[in-house]
């Protein structure tokens, strides 16, 4: 039977890693402007007439997420590979969200409450649950807390001119 105890440190660390992975592309975009902002889809439109991912999914953002997530993971005592995989999986979830939103006809950077946070949080948490010592309850709590963080922090980042949208 799975344990129902919570690992508060594990939950806190997972939440920090999620915020670093998802914040690094935004911060590097503000610091670097348009420099090195090459779209991952290279401008590819699919047969539905919409971009594969869009201009906001860049290689710079992807690599900054992986780099900074790995650095924080190592500082927290995790294996470097765990940090790399966490960043890659979080960005893969983010790209999946963008892909789905483009297929639905949503414009870039549009809001899709829930969809915007679920894949990018669930993928790294689920696949790295053993490395992060997370159980099902911990993962559920982290996903919920990450959603709340996005809801509460995004408007603040917008007011500070870090984000371009208030969500």
Domain holding 129, by residue range, is 8-159
Residue 67 domain flag:
yes
Residue 102 domain flag:
yes
Residue 51 domain flag:
yes
Residue 68 domain flag:
yes
- Each residue of 132-147: pLDDT tens digit? 999 999 999 999 999 8
Residue 2 domain flag:
no
Number of independent structural domains in the chain: 1
| Main-chain dihedrals φ then ψ at residue 39, nearest 5 degrees | -60, 140
How far apart CA 11 and CA 134 sit, in angstroms, is: 7
Residue 3 domain flag:
no
For the whole model, what pTM was predicted? 0.86
In angstroms, how far is CA 135 from the centroid of its own chain? 20
The least confident of 17-31, 48-62, 135-149 is: 48-62
Residue 18 domain flag:
yes
- Each residue of 86-98: pLDDT tens digit? 999 999 999 999 8
| Main-chain dihedrals φ then ψ at residue 58, nearest 5 degrees | -115, 160
Residue 166 domain flag:
no
């Amino acid at each position: 039977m799975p344990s129902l105890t919570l690992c508060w440190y594990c939950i806190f660390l997972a939440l920090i890693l999620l915020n670093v992975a998802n914040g690094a592309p935004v911060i590097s975009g503000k610091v670097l402007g348009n420099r090195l902002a090459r779209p991952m889809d290279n401008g590819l439109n699919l047969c539905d007439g919409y971009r594969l991912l869009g201009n906001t999914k860049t290689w710079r953002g992807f690599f900054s997420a992986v780099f900074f997530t790995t650095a924080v993971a190592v500082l927290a005592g995790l294996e470097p590979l765990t940090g790399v995989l966490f960043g890659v999986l979080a960005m893969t979830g983010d790209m999946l969200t963008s892909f789905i939103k483009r297929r639905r006809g949503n414009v870039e950077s549009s809001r899709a409450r829930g969809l915007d946070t679920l894949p990018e949080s669930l993928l790294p948490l689920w696949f790295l649950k053993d490395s992060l010592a997370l159980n099902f309850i911990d993962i559920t709590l982290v996903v919920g807390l990450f959603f709340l963080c996005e809801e509460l922090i995004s408007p603040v980042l917008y007011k500070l001119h870090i984000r371009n949208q208030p969500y």
